[in-house]
Every structure is written in structure tokens, then in C-alpha cells.
Structure 1
Amino acid sequence: MLSGECSSTSRLLDPLCGRRRLVVSAMTLPCTFYCSLWFLLLLGAGSLLLLVHLQDLSDTLQQQQNPGAVLVVAPGWPVQKEQSSDSAALVGFDLGGVFPGALRFEMSSAPILPSPGPGQPLAFQRSAHKASSTSENQQAKSPRPTPCDVHSVEDRQLQGMAQTQASRRRLLREVCAKYQPGATERPVSRRQVSRVYVEDRSSLLYCEVPKAGCSNWKRVLMVLGGSANSTRSIAHDDAHYANQLRRLDGYDQEGVAERLCSHTKLLFVREPFERLVSAFRDKFESPNSYYHPVFGRPIISRYRANASRYALRTGAGVTFREFVQYLLDVRRPVGMDIHWEPVSQLCSPCLLRYDFIGRFESLKEEANFLLRSIGAPSNLTFPDFKDRNPKAERTSSTIAQRYFQQLNSTERQRAYDFYYMDYLMFNYPKPYKDLY
């Protein structure tokens, strides 16, 4: 029985004895193992601190080697603008002051950052995650990530166009105040709005100035009004004679007054001498079943000595000098025509006070600016195709000068006097230095 008790007791004590043996063996491990472990831990911590220091040093050296580089802090994601009192304010130019119902464009007033030099990329300043042992001075050197507001090219263009419009309207008011004082207080007659087309859906009033993009403007108005889906699908004769557009003189007095107050009044002009030459080339140098017999025959009969029977019968072959003689004659054998009538008379700018004054010389750019401003469909842009005499070169200043060389200095001066108010109102320079 004692042997059984001893055996059971030995079984209980064996695990305890095994644990004591493990502890004793662990205590007898060599000291070099612990030394190696502590050495590895210290080496890892030192390497981490050295890496952080070298990273800051590389950023500093890069900035010193590239003094012209722009340092932009890459903000975290998502980006949120800080609403602080010293943040860059938004400078807005309200196109409602340009014309009724216009959109308001806003631009940031933050300065424009300089561009890097050729082959020099933008330098991004990295904010390293530093260990807790980094000093407070090193943390202070790291700039805080903030969004960088930059003027876009579109913003600058919008601001420039708005300023241009304000300048053109101001000049027109000054000229009108000097030469036609009190014009805005006079009643508006039907004749004075007979060339103004109405598009009520977009609240537009457009005064037609022939040879200054009027055909394409009528196409745009038809698309805005819903009578056509595309400007490309509208033929030249349909744009002018399909009766899809209503003119302002077709309304009663109350309707005229209401639209003059509520709608955007639009006018596009062109350098007067170029417009005159363009009209002459279109109506007299190309076959025309209306202008040759109606204008050509009386012009040839009045201003050409020894005219042939063919010329007198057809009215074909009018020269530019004969055409100018007719234009300047106070006793014209045939009346005025809208294609060469001065804009100052055709559209009554002193009376109607146009909200937008565009120029043919930058027609597409300014027309698209207006369309975007009134909220036109994004797929509607101003067309630039030429469907009448498409093979003929567009009349330029060089071509216009070639035609005016056929006149003597007195005739050029008288032609300039004829369009003097157009030159003055719309700030076109004198086409010749000897003009006064």
C-alpha cells in the first residue's frame, strides 16, 4: 500500500519538478542572447529617427536648389475649405448689371501662382509623420496643408469680357450724351424698332446689322425659340424669309415697352469700311436678281458716262467708286438699304440703350460668352459657317483697303464722315491716317 501511495505521489510531483527544471535551465541561458536582443531594438529605433531627419533635410535642400519652384501642400482627402475670416474672398462680377436675367460668375481673389520653369516640375512639400520624440521646433517648420485657390483661365476671360462690355456701354453713353442729349427720354417709334427681332423664351432682343453675322444670329434665335433643332439645318433663305422670327414693331405699344425693359438687348457691330465693302461684294459682284435691277441700273444710269445698253438693262457691273458716289449723294436715285445703313441709324443705340454690344471681329467668342451667360443649352454654340458665296474670301481689312484705294482722298474722307458716328460710338480707329 505504501508503494502505491508513493507511486501516486510521484506522479503528482513530476510536473512540478519539470517546471522547476525549465526555470533553472532558462536562468542558465547565456547573457549574450539578451544583449543581442537589446542591441537590435536600439538599432531599429535609431534607424527610424535617422530616416525622418534625412527626409526633412532632403526637402530643405530641394527648396534651396530650386528657389523658383512653387511649393504646394498636398491636402488630405477629402478636401474641405476652411471658413476662416482671413480666407480668400470671392470677387464676383454680376452680369445682371450687363443684361437682365444673366448668370452671376464668381472668381477667387487668391493670387495666381507662378508656373515652374521649363523642365522643372512642381515641388510638393511632404508632411512626414514624425515620431513622438521629434522636437517642437521641427514640428513648427512643417506648414499646415491648406487648399490653394487659383484663378482659372475661364474666370479671367469672363472678367475681361464683362469689363469690355462695361467699357463699351460707358463709351456709348458718353457719345450719346454729347451728340444726342435726351435721346432716352424720347418716345420709341415703330420704325426705330423695325430691325429688332424678339426671342421671348430667352428674353432676347437682337437688332439685325447686315454683314455683321446677322444670318447666323437669326439661326441661333430660331433654335432658342424652338422652331429648329440645329443651326446647321437652317438654310439662308429660311433664316431671313421663313417668318419664324417676330420683330418688335409687330407688338402693340405696351408689348414693345414691356420687352424693352425686361429683355436683354443685343447688338453686334463691325468696322464700318469693312462692312461697306462686304455689302458691295455680296450684292454687286455676285449674281443678284434684286440688287442688280433695283440698285444697279439707277446707279449706272446716274454715275457712268456712256454706259452700255447691257449695263443699263441689267444693272450688272457696278464699280465700287460708282457705289460710293451713290452712297454719298444727298439726292440718291434710289433709297438707302439696311446692308450699308449706319448702325447709329439702323439700330438707334442712343435710344434703345443696348445691354450687350458685340463686335464682328471677335464674333464667335463674344457670342458664345453671351449664350452661356443667358443659360442657353450647352450644345448650342454660335455657328461660323458662310453659306452665301462660300467660295469667296471673307472681307478683311486688307481687302477693304484694296477697294478704298480706288477712291481719292476726298471721297475717302466723305465716306468716313458718313460713318463717323459708328466709328465714334463703337470705338473703331480711323482706317487712314489722313482722315480727320
Structure 2
Amino acid sequence: MAFSKFKVIFGGNRGIWIIIAVLFMYSVLSVYSASVQLPGTNTTQHLFKHVFGLLIGVACIYVIHKIPCKYFRKVSYLLYGLSIILLILTWLFAPEVNGAKRWLIIGPITLQTSDFAKVALIMFLANKLSKKEDEITSIGAFVKTILFPILLTCFLIMPSNLSTALLVFFEAMVLLFFSSINRKYFWGLVGVAMVSGGLLFCVILYGNIEIWRFPTWKARVESWIEGNPNEADQVQVNNARMAVASGGILGRGPGNGHAKVKLANAHCDYIFANIVEETGLVFAAILIWLYIMLFYRAITIVKKINKLEPDSELKPKYKFRQYLVLGLMSMIVIQALSNMAVSTDLMPVTGQTLPFVSYGNSSLLFIGFAIGVILSVSREVDDATAPIAKETEADGDVTIVVDAAASTDNADAASDTTTMENEVSEPEEIIEDNELNIDENERKQI
């Protein structure tokens, strides 16, 4: 009974709901522990703000997952266009903080527009690929339909946030990999991207460019390669590495970490390092496993969609749902892995938050939107694949529970079957009577 009520209130894949709930518990404890040492704040100021952000995220997930998926397809182009407008407004009017324009202030609301752009681009590409992937038979069509929207979004994000632009491009590539687009275009794009990435790396490392944030990018790449302890970003990375190394198997215990005193962003960018130090490798491994299970749940949703076996007219609608689930979940998992990689010095500093765990209301809002969309797809797929009849045992007997419409159809089918049986049985009865008459005549003759 309780489970049925849960399914009515919280539709979709219940495993995703459980994982999100566990991540939120991680988040509350970790943010509280990491923020108690922040100067100029009391011990609960950041906690209350973060809990408020989590509640907004949960509300967003719940509301979005109740919306039919067909509406996401209808508004995907609109959301993409809105994201481009917001990125341009951010570039022109956002306040500059540490040489970057990332936050757009709209009245009382402060948004990191790149978070919205990531979700909007995935929805746009999912719609385009589901409709047009079979029609992309030339390089020109591929560039116009797929590549140009990706590059436009990345170009608008790049001046103030190179790492996010690169992640957005990589997330789009992952979605293209899962799609049915012509492989030669995909692998051709991979080759061009690798060459372009290598050239960009050389320009950043060896060039002397002063526009945008090239000096900052150069300093981060050099400090990551050379391990210069005097660079501010590398000091943060070294403190994060020390936190990870000192955590051991079970950690120092909740609230007993030392690195959060030195880490300026222990409650957001480097929260994974604080988690490892205080709870150890065991809980860090559980956290990584939770993100892997999120992606696994996305795969199970896609497999259920494959079982629907739609006809040719419905195929684009189901493909849109598949690409939507794979694209949005890949976005979340890739962002999580990049945050962990920075804390362990496996890649340069990116400034990416840990989804559902790090402090940051803007990130919680848009990632909550993404999870809500995934759960909306899951809810519809569960309804479509649910069996019409359910067998339940009562007092040792098997009772068939069916819908009213299904019972009517079954009754009609049963009556038709009975009629057919009667039609078949009548000749058999006549034949049997004739045989009996023949036997009686033979006995009389004898």
C-alpha cells in the first residue's frame, strides 16, 4: 500500500528518487561541515541557504516530472533560443568577477546562464537528432543542423568559462555517439575536435594573448603541468590533494577535516576533497557508485523504450525520449567526474560543482530540471510498459485483476471463442450420432 502511494506521488524510476535523496543527505552534511570555517559567517548561514536551494531543486524535480514529455519537445527550440539570448546578455551586462562574466542578475534572481544553456542544448539536439538524423546525408547538412548550434553555445560560454564550454562540447559529442547519425560525420568531428583542442592547448600554453581570460587559462595549465606551488589555483589543488591523501579508509570523522580551513571553496568546487578527508575512501567510493548507478538507471529507461517497438510514425517520438535521457544523464555524470578529477589533480581547475552535493542554488535548479525531465520520460515509459493484467493470490486462488476496458475486450473475445467452439462441436456431435446409428444397424443385421 505504501509503495503504491509512493508511485502515485513520485512517478518514474524509484531508484533515481532514492539516489537523489541519498545525494541530498551527503550534501547537507558536507556543506555544513565545509562551511563552518568560512570567515564572516555563522555556522548555519550557508546551511540554511543550501537547504533552501535543495528544497527548490526538489520542487523543480517534482513539478517537471509531472509534465508530459511531449511538451519538452515542443519547447526545446524555444529554450535553446532563450539560452542563446541569456548568454549574450551575460556577455554584455553581467558583472565581472575575477575577470569573468558568468552570473546574470535578473531582479532578485542570480543565474549562471551556462547551466541553463547546457540543459537547453541537450534538449535541442535530442529533438533535432530524433527528426533529422536520417536526413543528414551531407557535411553541409550536418554542420547546419547539428554542429553550428553546438559551436554557437560553446563560443558564447568560452570567453568567461573555457572549462564549461569544453564540457558542453564533450557532452554533445557523447549524445552524438549514442545517436544513429552517420558514423563518418561523427568520427570526422572527433578528429577535427582533437586537432582543434591540441591547437588551442598550444596557443594557451605558448601564446601571449591578453584577451578574454587567456592569462588565467595559461596560468592554470602551467601550474597543473609543472605543479607550481606558488600559483593560487595550484595551492588550492595541493590542499585538496592533501585532504584526499589524509582521509584514509574511514576518514577523520565528520566535522574533523583540516583542509576546509585552507580551501577557499571547500563547500562547492572542492567539496569532494572534504568528503574524502572526513568520511574516507569508503564513502567516497559510495558517492562515485551513486553517480554510476544514476547512469545505469538511465540505461534501463532507454532499454524499456526499446521494448515498446514503435511503428515508423511514432519512432521519432521515442527516439527523442531516448536521446533526452542519455544526454541529460551524461551531462550530470560528466560534471560530477570533472569535479572529482580536479580535487584529485587529474585535470586543471574547472570550477565545476558536484551535482546535488555542492553549494550553489543555480546549479541545483537546472540539474533538478534535468532530473525532472528524465523522471517524466521514465514515468511515461513505465505507464506504457505496465502489464494490463496482474495476477494476485488470494486464499490460494489466482485472481486476475484487469482494467474495465480490458475486461470488456476479454469478455467479447471469450464470447467469440465460445461461439467458435460451438460451431466446431456441432458437426462432431452429428458425426458421433451417425456412428451410433450405423453400429445399431450392424447389430440388427447380425
Category of TM-score, reference length = shorter chain: under 0.3
Please report the TM-score for the alignment, with normalisation by the length of structure 1: 0.20
Higher percent of residues as helix? 2
Higher percent of residues as strand? 1
